[in-house]
Amino acid sequence: MRQRHRERVLEFLRTIQKPDRPLDSVTETDSLVESGLIDSLALLEIVAFLEDQYRIDFAVIGLEPEQLTSVSGILDLIEREAR
Amino acid sequence: MRNGHEEARVLLTVGQLSEPLTGRHWDAPAVTREVSARAARYRRGGLRAGDRVFLHFGNRLEVFAELLALWRLGAVAVPVDGSLTRVELERLAETVAPRFSVVDDATDGAIARALPPGVAVLDATEPLPPADLPEDAARRDHDALVLFTSGSSGVPKGVVHTHASLAARWSALRGELGLAAYARTLCLLPTHFGHGLICNSLFPWLAGQDLFITPPFRPDLLLRLGAMIDEHRITFLSSVPAMWRLALRVARPPRGGTLRRVHCGSAPLPAVLWERVRGWAGTPEVFNTYGLTETGSWVAGTSAGEFTPADGLIGPPWGAILHVQGADATRCAPGEIGQVWIESPALMRGYLGQDELTRQAVQGGRFATGDLGLLDERGWLHLRGRERDEINKGGLKISPAEVDAAVEGGPRVADVCAFAVDDPLYGQNVGLAVALTERDDAAVRELYAWVRERLAEGKLPARWWLVDAIPRSERGKVSREAVRDACADRPPLDLTRILQGR
């Protein structure tokens, strides 16, 4: 299941990443912002993606920013909170 | 009547300065010590009254001490965006002719190489020996601050404020808004912007109110916004609409009841968003503010009694006379839409080294904002659009001509036109139509690399279209709206695929 989520997340990240940064160069635990893959404000788009695709309601569960900084953090969040 | 050569009185009766993120904190005596030590360092380096100094960093304690040290010596602070490219910085340095450049530990080392020989680079974080506070050399008619905005001709405009114009802005705000609500002010905006520096930070802090300063536009901080307001008992913050599109979605509201007032400016605030910010903030005092760097930022806002948020509603002027004029310079009747002009003692002295541009912008003591609006029967301003060519990316004003200028010298470029495209987060973003003499992926890659070297990241076009030609009128004029509309029917280039050679 995690692998399927991973593919969906990576597919989404490809749509918001900076165009000249290869996604393949970022490991699962690398910071997406610090690695330069995404703009820091793109975190909003990740939030919207998780709300839309996995029905995670951040207004209810709150949000620790660290949860969204890496692919593995996002996958952990999905496994814990997706409905 | 004040004499222009009267002392500007750079007072150090400031509030406390804090960095919530690091826990660093300076009280007023510490600020005085820092200002004194930095002023002595500038003197040792030979700084003289009137010299200009680049500040390549911001949003930390040191920038305020550098600013006051420069002012105390009668020098001019020029805060610049730390993300400027080397090419952009070289152009600014030609205009400014700085005596010093001050950096911090986060400043890109390439900056020093972009400066002309003879410009000494100072490190704002370097420990300095204690020194006595120098005598106040600032005069009211001295230049105090130069802030750069994107120029409509492609050349950046350096907006020059004197001590007198800044003092007029702060005095007007104090008279209109009081100080009580600003007792503990949070600044999340960049301090190289007029909005963040002059109004969000310096207005309350120089009047003795406490200032909490964070790195600008950090989403992780916005996510914690409610908690930060509670932890530091924040009473006021200013903002831009794009911040709220993120914060309202993910940040829990403050619970401590300390937040008394919120300003929102630099970009249109839709009524729906406005109401939601009011609900989140727990105060009706969410003021939509209007201002430009040239007016010392906030020059009007919704401060007078009760109001219902409405699209375009600004409110009464703050220390200014608002004029709405027809194209023939006649005064519009209440309710009639025209060009918005502003008359204020807080108006800039002019654009640095651009007298003709200054004459075009300021006529008869009135500044042409380039915005369209109306005054209602109460004299409240309502904005209805703008005439000037500008892309407003979440409050960052980008001149499409500046983007054109950066692209048009690029490899294989036959013609170019930048324009605003809608963006769900920023409101607007930069779109680019470009005609190339060779239309293959390699040409796009080469051009992208060229543009990256010439435009700061925030100004880079987000969506690109290749076109056969840019339609122009017989007089060579281009309609950016027409180009945008023509591109809107087609998907933009898949830059990710092209740049990664897939």
How many angstroms separate the CA atoms of B482 and B493, rounded? 19
Using a CB-CB cut-off of 8 Å, the residues of chain B touching A19 are 448, 495-496, 498-500
CATH at residue B59: 3.40.50.980
Q: Which pLDDT score, from 0 to 100, does residue B1 have?
A: 43
State residue B502's pLDDT score. 65
**Inter-chain CB proximity B448 and A14 less than 8 Å:** no
Cα B363 from Cα B298, distance rounded (Å)? 21
**What's the predicted TM-score (pTM) here?**
0.89
Strand bridging mode B120-123 / B100-103: parallel
Last residue of a domain, one of B111, B138, B165: B138
> What is the CATH number for B461?
3.30.300.30
A1 contacts chain B (CB < 8 A): no
For residue B187, give both structure tokens: 């600044």
CB contact under 8 Å between A40 and B218, yes or no, is yes
Amino acid at B63: V
Domain count across chain A? 1
DSSP β-ladder status, B366-375 and B381-386: antiparallel
What is the C-alpha R_g of chain B?
23
Q: Cβ A65–B220 below 8 Å, yes or no?
A: yes
Q: What size, in residues, is chain A? A: 83
Q: Of B175, B237, B230, which is closest to residue B211 (Cα–Cα)?
A: B237
* Identity of the residue in A17, A22, A44 whose CB atom sits nearest the CB atom of B249: A44
Residue from B315, B318, B314, B261 nearest B285 by CA:
B261
| CB < 8 Å to A43, chain B | 219-220, 223, 246
CB-based contact B366:B342 (threshold 8 Å): yes
Q: Is A67 on the interface with B (CB under 8 A)?
A: no
Residue B12, domain member (yes or no): no
The ipTM estimated for the assembled molecules is: 0.75
Beta bridge partners, B161, equal B145
DSSP code of residue B139: B
User: What are the angstrom distances between the C-alpha of B243 and each of B29, B191, B239?
Assistant: 34, 16, 7
Distance, C-alpha B7 to centroid of its chain = 28
**Average pLDDT for chain A:** 86
pLDDT (tens, 9 = 90+) of chain B, 502 residues, equals 455 567 777 677 899 999 999 999 999 999 999 999 999 999 999 999 999 999 999 999 999 999 999 999 999 999 998 888 888 999 899 999 999 999 999 888 778 778 988 899 999 999 999 999 999 999 999 999 999 987 666 678 999 999 999 999 999 999 999 999 999 999 999 999 999 999 999 999 999 999 999 999 787 788 889 999 999 999 999 999 989 988 888 788 999 999 999 999 999 899 999 999 999 999 999 999 999 999 999 999 998 778 899 999 999 999 999 999 998 889 999 999 999 999 999 999 999 999 999 999 999 999 999 999 999 999 999 999 888 788 999 888 899 989 998 999 999 999 999 999 998 888 899 999 999 999 899 999 999 999 999 998 889 999 999 999 998 877 778 889 999 999 998 999 999 889 987 6
Q: What is the pLDDT of residue B451?
A: 96
Rg (CA), chain A: 12
Q: Which neighbouring-strand residues pair with B386?
A: B371
Asked whether B17 and B144 are in contact (CB, 8 A), the reply is: no
Residue A60 sits at the chain B interface (C-beta within 8 Å): no
* Interface residues of chain B, partner chain A, Cβ below 8 Å: 217-220, 223-224, 242, 245-246, 249-252, 394, 425-426, 448, 452, 457, 495-496, 498-500
Interface A-B, measured as beta-carbon pairs within 8 A, has a size of 53
Pick from B114, B138, B162: which residue ends a domain? B138
The confidence score (pLDDT) of residue A61 equals 76
Task: Sort strands B413-423 and B143-149 into parallel, antiparallel or unpaired.
Answer: unpaired
Query: Sign (positive/negative) of CA torsion B482, B484, B490, B492?
Result: positive
Strands (E), B157-278: 157-162, 184-187, 210-213, 236-239, 261-264
* 3-state secondary structure at position B363: strand
Query: Residue B329: which of B364, B381, B377 has the closest Cα?
Result: B364
Q: Helices (H) and strands (E) in chain B — how many of each? A: 16, 26
User: Residue B361: what pLDDT?
Assistant: 95
Residue B189 lies in a domain: no
Domain boundary among B104, B138, B172: B138
| A58 CB within 8 Å of a chain B CB | yes
Q: What is the CATH number of the domain that holds A26?
A: 1.10.1200
Decide if A41 and B224 are in contact by the 8 Å CB cutoff: no
**Which of B445, B496, B499 to mutate to probe the A interface, most A CBs <10 Å?**
B496
Question: Strands B362-363, B210-213: parallel, antiparallel or unpaired by DSSP?
Answer: unpaired
Which residues lie below 8 Å from residue A80, measured CB to CB, with a gap of 6+?
none
Does any CB of chain B come closer than 8 Å to the CB of residue A3?
no
- B76-79: strand order across its sheet: B120-123, B100-103, B52-55, B76-79, B143-149, B157-162, B350-351
Q: What is the predicted pLDDT for the residue at B251?
A: 85
Domain membership of residue A16 as a residue range: 2-81
Chain B interface, best mutation among A14, A24, A41, by max B CB count within 10 A: A41
Q: Side-chain half-sphere of B489: how many Cα atoms within 13 Å?
A: 5
Residue with tokens 């680049």, as numbered in its chain: B54
Structural domains in chain B (count): 2
CB contact under 8 Å between B498 and A22, yes or no, is no
Looking at CA atoms only, how far is residue B468 from chain A in angstroms?
Answer: 23
Helix intervals (H) in B255-373: 271-281, 355-361
pLDDT in tens, chain A (83 residues): 899 999 999 999 988 888 888 888 889 999 898 888 888 778 878 888 998 899 988 767 777 777 888 999 999 999 998 87
- DSSP annotation of A38 reads S
Question: In terms of CA atoms, which chain B residue is nearest residue A66?
Answer: B220
Structural domain of residue B80, as residue ranges? 24-138
Provide the shortest C-alpha distance from residue A22 to chain B (in Å): 7
Distance from C-alpha of B70 to C-alpha of B95, rounded to nearest angstrom: 19
- Give the number of other Cβ atoms within 10 Å of residue B272's Cβ: 10
Please give the Cα distance from B121 to B14 (Å, whole number): 28
